[in-house]
Structure 1
Amino acid sequence: MAKQIFPHQYIAIEGNIGAGKTTLCHQLAEQFDSRLILEQFTDNPFLPFFYDSPERYAFPVELFFMTERHKQLQELLSQHDLFQKGIIADYFFVKTLLFARNNLNDQEYRLFQRLFNILNASFPKPELLVYLHRPVEELLSNIKRRGRSYEQDISGDYLLNIQNAYFDYFKTNPQLPILILDVEDADWINEAEHYQRLLTEISLDYEPGIHRKRLVLP
């Protein structure tokens, strides 16, 4: 049986920690036989230390993330057959800058931003950027449920700051089609109807700018 064709050639699924973006990307890539780009965050050797001592380890953890994301995207997005098959990614490179703004002091961030601007200049932009929005309380519950030891001390304030960083970025980039999808209580792993309704929303064509919708659950 032939795979279905996904309506977007390159889509990035974003969201806060615990929003469910990686799981959704796996489901989409399986259904549409798309090339899957997943962030390799578990390979960051500074990450466990960062959660224990963020001020000390913020710069190396963000620098490692940036260089690894750049290396991965540079390798994958340069493959000519990639866009023939379609791309579904669970992150957008700008995520690098947003997390850095939240975690670095002003002096560190200015240096980091200069490096980021150099690395970001050559990347193609996705046809659609989807941000899966959940309430902070739901994110904390999901983080606890998945049980990664180094994430268990993440605070609600930290998640709220990350969310605000995304929203601030969206307001300043009207040239990119951005869909903010409120997915409170949605479970696209166990509820097929939730997944289908989400798929309907992200399959539509969107003009550049911010589009905010609430996923209507059955």
Structure 2
Amino acid sequence: MYEACEKYGIPRDAIITIAGTVGVGKSTLTKKLAETLDFRTSFEKVDGNPYLEKYYQDFNRWSFHLQIYFLAERFKEQKRMFQYGGGFIQDRSIYEDTAIFAQMNYDNGSMSKEDFDTYNSLFNAMVMTPYFPHPNLIIYLEGDIDEIVGRIGTRGRQMEIDTPVEYWYNLHRRYEDWIENFTSAPVLRLNINEYDLVNDEKSIDYILAKIGRVL
């Protein structure tokens, strides 16, 4: 156990968060890293989310509800990981909610100024404080938007397939802008064309070596 941690100099209590736009491969990398490092996983809760499908059907009505739900769930999950003593790979960060999704809903007119201000006030009080347990590393997955849109179609979630393609292009651009200015934790950027976890077993070693150099 923990042989990979020792080999690549990765702390056993590290919390590593995978960030990136929808369809970029966060869940696949989360599972593979956790399996190789003997870490636990923390996944974004899609099943059982009472607002997600409603949001894709009506952005204006459900954007605020969805963002508050995600904020509460991610905050509880962040606390849980640190209470366990670390050793987690996390699928999606709490920071993306406000800087990308809430901001996009506000800019698009899907969230009112009052709701946006209320959400940001709550986010700052909960997360942007010295007491919030930030991850040790953010791995940001990036790639060509046309390839990513193809992946979204391939995985077959109907609510995503029915979403206008312009939404995914807008989201991708916002992610790229966000990561350029992100400073709350160390960042490792990985292009999805640099590795192939399905067909190349050595890909995970390439990624672990990069993680070890940052941590």
Pairwise TM-score range, normalised by the shorter structure: 0.7 to 0.9
Letter in structure 2 aligned against 1:188: L
Structure 2 unpaired stretches of 5+: none
Whole-angstrom CA distance in 1 between matches of 2:203 and 2:184: 29
Whole-angstrom CA distance in 2 between matches of 1:160 and 1:184: 19
SS at match of 2:190: strand
RMSD, aligned CA: 2.2
Whole-angstrom CA distance in 1 between matches of 2:118 and 2:2: 49
State the Cα distance separating 1:12 from its structure 2 match: 0.9
State the Cα distance separating 1:150 from its structure 2 match: 1.5
Does residue 63 of structure 2 align to residue 61 of structure 1?
no
SS at match of 2:202: helix
Whole-angstrom CA distance in 2 between matches of 1:133 and 1:145: 18
SS at match of 1:203: helix
Whole-angstrom CA distance in 2 between matches of 1:110 and 1:71: 22
- Contact persistence 1:137–1:156 (CA under 8 A): no
Whole-angstrom CA distance in 1 between matches of 2:195 and 2:208: 12
State the Cα distance separating 1:186 from its structure 2 match: 4.2
**Higher fraction of helix:** 2
SS at match of 2:193: coil
Whole-angstrom CA distance in 1 between matches of 2:180 and 2:199: 33
State the Cα distance separating 1:31 from its structure 2 match: 1.1
Whole-angstrom CA distance in 1 between matches of 2:20 and 2:31: 15
The alpha-carbon distance between structure 1 residues 195 and 154, as it changes in their structure 2 partners (threshold 3 A), is farther
**Higher mean C-alpha deviation, range 8-17 or range 184-193:** 184-193
| Higher RCO structure (Cα 8 Å, ≥6 apart) | 2
Letter in structure 2 aligned against 1:93: I
Does residue 119 of structure 2 align to residue 116 of structure 1?
no
- Contact persistence 1:14–1:91 (CA under 8 A): yes
Whole-angstrom CA distance in 2 between matches of 1:76 and 1:58: 27
Aligned length: 202
Whole-angstrom CA distance in 1 between matches of 2:2 and 2:97: 36
CA shift digits 1:62-88 (9 cap, x unpaired):
111111111222233223xx23xx221
Does residue 90 of structure 2 align to residue 89 of structure 1?
yes
The alpha-carbon distance between structure 1 residues 61 and 101, as it changes in their structure 2 partners (threshold 3 A), is same
The alpha-carbon distance between structure 1 residues 133 and 156, as it changes in their structure 2 partners (threshold 3 A), is farther
Taking every aligned residue pair, what percent have the same amino acid on both sides? 29
Q: Which residue of 2 aligns with 1:16?
A: 21
In the superposition, the TM-score normalised over structure 2's length comes to: 0.83
Letter in structure 2 aligned against 1:204: R
Whole-angstrom CA distance in 2 between matches of 1:96 and 1:174: 15
Q: Which residue of 2 aligns with 1:142?
A: 151
The alpha-carbon distance between structure 1 residues 110 and 162, as it changes in their structure 2 partners (threshold 3 A), is same
Whole-angstrom CA distance in 2 between matches of 1:15 and 1:172: 14
Q: Which residue of 2 aligns with 1:216?
A: none
Does residue 201 of structure 2 align to residue 192 of structure 1?
yes
- One of 125, 137, 146 as aligned partner of 1:128: 137
Letter in structure 2 aligned against 1:4: A
**Higher mean C-alpha deviation, range 66-75 or range 188-197:** 188-197
State the Cα distance separating 1:19 from its structure 2 match: 0.7
Query: After the TM superposition, which segments of 4 or more aligned residues of structure 1 sit over 4 Å from their partners?
Result: none
Structure 1 unpaired stretches of 5+: 207-218
